[in-house]
């Protein structure tokens, strides 16, 4: 099973292409507020950006915290989200150990599902899909 990793964030220019690709291709919206992957400055205006993707925890604390079963553990780590079951209580975001679940203004959750659709949109190859157990050089 593959998961998204961010091994070369020193190359990131903060263009948000990956976030916009996620929002558009996965969530069918065009706003980085509706993306499972967010890019933020780690202090500088033009350099030092960081990504906070889901770490594919196994077991997933967000799934354990969800009272309705909207978050289901994915085999190998991470989660599958059934948004129709979500009551927008925010328990998943509170349980996430790396603050990787984003709630929009209505409380709808967005989290990386490790689909890899953002990877080809990064102009500096900061992102990659890695087979679990493999590490990038």
CB 84 within 8 A of CB 48: no
Looking at the fold, whether 61 and 77 belong to one and the same domain comes out as yes
Q: What is the pTM of this model?
A: 0.84
Looking at the fold, whether 35 and 17 belong to one and the same domain comes out as yes
Tell whether 105 is covered by a domain.
no
Tell whether 75 is covered by a domain.
yes
Looking at the fold, whether 45 and 11 belong to one and the same domain comes out as yes
> Nearest Cα to 16, choosing from 4, 43, 34?
34
50-79 pLDDT, tens digit per residue, is: 888 899 988 899 999 999 999 998 887 789
Looking at the fold, whether 38 and 78 belong to one and the same domain comes out as no
| Domains identified in the chain, total number | 2
**Which pLDDT value is given to residue 132?**
80
The length of the chain in residues reads 137
Give 1's Cβ-side CA count (13 Å radius). Answer: 12
Domain extent at residue 15: 1-53+112-137
- pLDDT over threshold 80, residue 42: no
C-alpha–C-alpha distance, residues 124 and 9, integer Å? 9
Mean pLDDT of the chain: 89
Tell whether 120 is covered by a domain.
yes
């Amino acid at each position: 099973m593959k998961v998204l990793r961010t091994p070369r964030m020193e190359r990131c220019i903060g263009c948000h292409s990956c976030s916009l690709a996620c929002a558009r291709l996965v969530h069918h919206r065009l706003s980085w507020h509706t993306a499972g992957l967010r890019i933020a400055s780690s202090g500088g205006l033009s350099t030092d950006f960081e990504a906070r993707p889901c770490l594919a925890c196994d077991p997933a604390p967000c799934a354990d915290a969800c009272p309705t079963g909207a978050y289901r553990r994915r085999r190998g780590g991470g989660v599958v989200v059934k948004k129709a079951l979500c009551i927008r209580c925010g328990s998943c975001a509170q349980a996430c150990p790396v603050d990787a679940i984003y709630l929009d203004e209505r409380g709808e959750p967005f989290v990386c599902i490790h689909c890899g659709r953002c990877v080809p949109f990064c102009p500096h190859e900061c992102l990659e899909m890695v087979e679990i157990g493999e590490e990038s050089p």
